[in-house]
């Protein structure tokens, strides 16, 4: 079974594929949009895409694609520990590094270390790709922020390990598809909604969850791309969408929301 992921061998997304689908064939894909395209076309059975980092926050591109792209939904989640290292050519010295490549999220997660390093920061598509770029260019003054494993695959050395600003760094990945991947019974739901333009609409959308005792674990607003200066709200709740009380709440929400879409019901990660 082919599982598409964004990045190259050694990427954290590949680790997420291995955790969710130990017997699956991980298929590297250049972009998150490309993962959606592969799954949507049937070229891959499922995709694994980054959804949120515990330090840097939500991956907005993924949420936008879930809202706007076809019928794909979240059918599972995986949480991977992220430990970043500064990777360079064998024999390079930390004080000689003048340029650092990595994904923007990884760079943000290591902001304090990189500020002290004082090197030029260059964003690229993914962490493992940054490691490959440094290996191919062969400049002793260039380095990448990626996993130690990504460095080993490219023949690079770790000049410093666990360089993220906060040691406990995790990334949540969404498994996307149009069918059940068999990861377990659903006990979590993600959805997106926009409220009607009248006083009390947001409160009216949220109050039924408190009344029915349904716990919310995420609520985040994002600009609505098709309507300037209007917003959508992304929400996670600890219940499957097919439970009667959740169905009732969704019905209540529809009376006060101008848009409502369930992004998926799926098993919460317990790895």
Q: What is the pLDDT of residue 198?
A: 87
Tell me, yes or no, whether 141 and 75 share the same domain. Answer: no
**Has residue 182 been placed in a domain?**
no
46 and 94 assigned to the same domain: no
- Looking at the DSSP bridge assignments, the partners of residue 235 are 191, 219
Instruction: Please confirm, yes or no, whether 113 is among the known catalytic residues.
Output: no
Residues 100 and 220 in one domain: no
Q: Are residues 75 and 112 in the same domain?
A: no
The DSSP 8-state label assigned to residue 270 in this structure reads -
Q: How many domains does the chain have?
A: 3
For 69-90, write each residue's pLDDT tens digit: 778 999 999 999 999 999 999 9
What does the pLDDT read at residue 229? 83
Residues 44 and 173 in one domain: yes
Does residue 195 belong to any structural domain of this protein? yes
Same domain, 199 and 213: yes
Domain end marker among 120, 142, 177: 177
Look over the chain and give the mean of its residue pLDDT values, rounded to a whole number.
95
Question: What is the per-residue pLDDT for 226?
Answer: 78
Do 71 and 173 belong to one domain? yes
Tell me, yes or no, whether 192 lies in a domain.
Answer: yes
The DSSP symbol for 139 reads -
**High-pLDDT (> 90) share of the chain, %:** 90
Q: Where are the beta strands (DSSP E) in 178-224?
A: 188-195, 216-223
Do 12 and 144 lie in a common domain?
no
Q: Which residue has the tokens 């395209």?
A: 37
Per-residue pLDDT tens for 13-66? 999 999 999 999 999 999 999 999 999 999 999 999 999 999 888 999 999 999
Active-site choice (171, 189, 193, 233): 171
pLDDT of 150: 96
173 given a catalytic annotation? yes
Query: What pLDDT was estimated at residue 56?
Result: 82
Domain that holds residue 9: 2-81+169-177
Which one of 177, 212, 230 terminates a domain?
177
Looking at the structure, tell me whether residues 113 and 129 fall in a common domain.
Answer: yes
Q: Is residue 7 part of a domain?
A: yes
Which tens digits make up the pLDDT trace of 214-227?
A: 999 999 999 987 78
Residue where a domain stops, chosen among 149, 177, 205: 177
For the cut 80, the answer to whether the pLDDT of residue 116 exceeds it is: yes
Of 21, 46, 173, 193, which residue is the catalytic one? 173
Residue 233 has pLDDT above 90, yes or no: yes
Write out the E strands in 71-169.
73-81, 85-88, 99-102, 120-123, 142-146, 157-161
Residue 225 lies in a domain: yes
Mean pLDDT of 193-222: 94
| Residue 50: CATH number of its domain | 3.40.190.10
Asked whether residue 73 falls in the same domain as residue 192, the answer is no
Q: Is 206 helix (H, G, I), strand (E, B) or coil?
A: helix
155 shares its domain with 89:
yes
Domain-located, residue 271: no
Q: Which residues are paired to 122 by β-bridges? A: 101
Residue 183 lies in a domain: no
pLDDT tens digits, 137-179: 989 999 999 999 999 999 999 999 999 999 999 999 999 999 9
Q: How far apart are CA 184 and CA 75, in angstroms?
A: 10
In a shared domain, residues 173 and 50? yes
Which strand (E) or helix (H) includes residue 171? strand 170-177
Residue 112 lies in a domain: yes
Q: How far apart are CA 195 and CA 209, in angstroms?
A: 16
């Amino acid at each position: 079974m082919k599982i598409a992921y964004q990045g190259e061998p050694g990427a954290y997304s590949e680790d997420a594929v291995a955790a969710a689908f130990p017997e699956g064939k991980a298929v590297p894909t250049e972009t998150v949009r490309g993962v959606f395209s592969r799954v949507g076309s049937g070229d891959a059975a499922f995709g694994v895409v980054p959804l949120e980092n515990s330090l840097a926050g939500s991956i907005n591109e993924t949420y936008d694609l879930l809202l706007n792209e076809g019928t794909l939904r979240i059918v599972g989640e995986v949480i991977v520990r992220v430990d970043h290292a500064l990777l360079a050519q064998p024999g390079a010295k930390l004080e000689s590094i003048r340029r650092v490549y990595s994904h923007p999220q990884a760079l943000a997660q290591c902001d304090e270390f990189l500020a002290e390093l004082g090197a030029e920061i260059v964003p690229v598509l993914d962490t493992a790709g940054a490691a490959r770029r440094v290996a191919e260019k062969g400049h002793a003054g260039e380095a990448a922020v990626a996993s130690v494993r990504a460095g080993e695959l490219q023949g690079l050395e770790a000049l410093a390990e666990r360089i993220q600003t906060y040691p406990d760094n995790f990334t949540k990945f969404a498994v996307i598809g149009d069918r059940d991947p068999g990861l377990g019974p659903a006990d979590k739901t993600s959805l997106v909604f926009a409220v009607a333009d009248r006083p009390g609409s947001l409160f009216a959308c949220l109050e039924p969850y408190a009344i029915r005792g349904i716990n919310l674990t995420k609520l985040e607003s994002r600009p609505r791309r098709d309507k300037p200066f209007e917003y959508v709200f992304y929400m996670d709740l600890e219940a499957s969408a097919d439970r009667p009380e959740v169905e009732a709440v969704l019905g209540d929400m529809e009376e006060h929301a101008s848009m409502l879409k369930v992004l998926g019901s799926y098993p919460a990660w317990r790895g």
